[in-house]
Each structure stands twice: as structure tokens, then as C-alpha cells.
Amino acid sequence: MYLKSVEIVGFKSFADKTKLDFKPGMSAVIGPNGSGKSNVNEAIRWCIGEMSWKSLRSTAMVDVIFAGTARRQPLNMAEVTLTFDNTKGMLPLPYSEITVSRKLFRSGESEYYLNKTQCRLRDVRELFLDTGLGNDGYAIIDQGGVDFVIKAKPEDRRALFEEAAGVSKYKAKREEALRKLERVEADLARLSDSMALINEQIRKLDNDAKKAKQFQKYKEELTGLEVAGILADVGGTQAELDREAALVAPVREGFDARTHELHAEEGRLAALALERTGLQAQAAEANQALAEVKAAAARAKVELPLEPVETAAAELAELAAERARLHDDPQKGQKSAGGGFLSKLKDGLSAAAAGVAAVAKDAQLKLKESQAQSRLAAARRSLALVLARDLADAAFRAPKLGELVKQASRAEAFVDAWRAEEARVRKELEALAQTG
């Protein structure tokens, strides 16, 4: 393995892209003081992972970027690329040529690449372990490095020998393993603390769960007893309601019967009123006929009595006497010019008798109507008395019925509240079970 080329852009004095190719063997960079010979060495060290800006003779890491001159603008990035020949496979990558690059921006961000693939600084350092390259490697000796090797303490000199012998790689792995063990021990300590807290919480939750189960048990027993009492109260209330309904049923039936009777009386009254109207029409016709008879009597200058039935009977008796007298003197009867008048008088008497009969029948109908109205008034008074009695009875029983309804409502409200409480307790138990 050897370094094939170095490509530098923007690193310290290398403002332009510069590429240095090396051949197998020894190569030297020669130049006067201040020409940038040490910058080449520092560029190689910086590319393989040097993180100390003091070792790079800078006050800050961003100072390695080209700062510009009177004629050139400063650059915003520094990049160094090293190309290694790996035909012998000394580097643990399956490539014959390996390229390592590092970029630094003025914002302070750094990027590392292996064969143009971005990677970590740790990957670059692990690549050069056991090769002599790296921050503590012996392959790169800067100014004063020879004097350091000669005057080094045994411990420092041992580090160089371990690097040359390939022990530093395993030593670094050992240190990394120890750091991981320390982190694991710290994690175990935190885990043990967390376990102690969790165990304490579990014990507390276990006690709470036992208390909740005991509370649920007692709550269910209490609820069962309360429900049994409520059901008993509801049964008694229902029985009382049934008894009250049985007492109200006859009153309702009597009320319905009185109502039907009232409707029947009203129907009969309407029929009598209709019959009365018909009789009044007949009476009007009789009066009209009587008026015609009176007119005929007036023309004959004979006065037609319009007295009651007794006067009509007296006149009939007189007519009978006249008939008997005429019967005794037939010649005179034949000569009498009043024969036609007698026939008309008979017809008028017949009409008068018919009118009298109609008036009598009308009086009878009025009597029947007054009797029906009297019965209807009596029925209404009886119905009013029954209603007043029923209303008084209902008013007497109303407070008891209202109290029973209120008891039933309170019982239903209590059952609903108990169900809500049971649902809430079940939710709390489920939450405790999930937490446990």
C-alpha cells in the first residue's frame, strides 16, 4: 500500500486545485521557506481525521480554508482527497484503489467520503488502524517529531511500538468495548431504579385493585338489596294502582250509562218536537178551514158559534129540536128556503169538530213534551249528582294516586342512577386492569 496522489483545493495556501502524484519509493517536496511544504503534510493529516487545529498551526478549524489575498477572493470550502494503492489488501476494503476525501465549509460542517460515498469520521479512523496512519500513527512525523521520539518517555515510546506492532487496533477496540460496558452499566442502574419505582407502583395498584374489587363486591350486594326493595315497593304500588283502577271502573261505567241515557232522552225529545211541528201544521190547516166556514156563514148572515165543545153540543141539540119541528110540519119544511143552509151548517160543524179535535191533540202533545222535558231535566240532575259524587271520590283518591306515581318515578330514577354508578365502576376497574 502506498499513497498514489494528493488533490488539494482551498486548503490553506492552495487556492487553486492542485494534484500531486507519487510513485512507489521515496518522494520529496523541496522548496524555500514559506513555499507551503508543511501545508502538504498537514493536508494529508487533516484528510485522515486530524481534529486539533493547533496541530495544524491554526487558531480555529475554519482557518484552514483559503482566506484570500489582495488579488483573490476567499473560498468557502476546503477539500483534500487522498488516493491509496490497495493491491496488497492492507486496507480492509475489497478495492484495489481507495479514495479518502474530507470537506470543510465555513459554517463549520465537515463531510467525509470513502470512494466518493459519504461516511463517518469513525469509519475513516477504523480504516487506517494498524497501518501506521492516523492521528497517533508513526507514518507521519511533523516538525519536532524526531526529537519527540528520541526524548519520549517509555510510555509514549511504547505507544509507538504498539502502533507499529498492530496492537493499537485491538487496544482501541478494547477501549471502545469498555466504554460500551460503562454505558450498559449506567443503563442497568437507571433500569434498576425504574424497576424499583415500577414495582412500588405495582404494589400500590395491586392494593387499589383489591380494594376496588372488594368495593365492587359490596356495591353489587348493596345494589341487589336496593333493587329487591325497589321491586317490592313497585309491586305494592302496582297492586295499589290496580285496586284504585278497580274502584274507578264502576264509576266510569255508571258515567257512560248515564251519558247513553241522556243521549236517548235527547233523541226522544227531538222526536216529540218533530211530531209537535206536524201537529201544528195540521192545526194551521184546520184553522184555515174554519176561517173558510166562518166566511161562508157571514155570507149567509148566520152566526157560527166558535165556542168550545159544550156550546157546539147545545147548538146541535137545538138543531135536533128544529129538525123534529120540521119533521112535524113537512110542508113547511119543504117550503123553507133554509134547506141548503142546513147542509152548509152541518159541514161547518164538522170542520169545527175537527178543529176542536186537532186543538185537543195539540194540547196532549204539549203535555207529553212538557213531561219529556221534565224527565230530561230529572235525568240531567241525576247525572250531575253522579258526576259530582264521582269527582269528589276521585278528588279524595287523587293524593294517594299522585303519591304512588311519585314513588314509582323515584324508584325508576334510583334504578337509573345505580346503573350509571355500575358503569362508572366497571370503567375504573378496566383502566386499573390495563395499567396493571
DSSP for 67-95 reads: ---SSSPPPSEEEEEEEEE-TT--SSSS-
116: left (phi over 0), alpha (psi -120 to 50) or beta: left
Q: What's the rounded Cα separation, in Å, for the pair 197 and 162?
A: 48
For residue 273, give the nearest of 356, 380, 376 by alpha carbon. 376
Tell me what the pLDDT averaged over the chain comes to. Answer: 75
Residue that wins the pLDDT comparison between 418 and 255: 255
Range(s) within the chain of domains with CATH label 3.40.50.300:
2-153
Contacts of 379 (CB under 8 A, 6+ apart): 258, 261, 262, 265
Q: What is the pLDDT of residue 209?
A: 92
Range(s) within the chain of domains with CATH label 1.10.287:
219-328+338-434
- C-alpha torsion 377→382→386→389, nearest 10: 100
Going by pLDDT thresholds of 50, 70 and 90, the confidence category of residue 9 is: very high
Q: What's the rounded Cα separation, in Å, for the pair 269 and 379?
A: 13
- What percent of the chain stands above pLDDT 70? 61
CATH topology of domain 219-328+338-434: Helix Hairpins (1.10.287)
Q: What is the pLDDT of residue 186?
A: 92
Give mean pLDDT, residues 14-35: 86
Q: What is the pLDDT of residue 262?
A: 81
Looking up cell 206536524 gives 278
Q: Which helix (H) or strand (E) holds 302?
A: none
- pLDDT, tens digit, for every residue of 169-180? 677 788 888 999
Of 66-75, 171-180, 361-370, the range with the lowest mean pLDDT is: 361-370
- Is the predicted pLDDT of residue 53 greater than 70, yes or no? yes
- Is the predicted pLDDT of residue 361 greater than 70, yes or no? no
Q: What is the pLDDT of residue 284?
A: 78
Give mean pLDDT, residues 89-95: 84
Residue that wins the pLDDT comparison between 8 and 362: 8
**Domain 2-153 bears CATH identifier 3.40.30.10:** no
CA angle 375, 381, 387 (to 5 degrees): 135
Between the alpha carbon of residue 390 and those of residues 249, 251, 262, 288, 293, the distances in Å are: 11, 7, 17, 55, 62
Going by pLDDT thresholds of 50, 70 and 90, the confidence category of residue 331 is: very low
For the full predicted model, state whether its pTM sits above 0.85. no
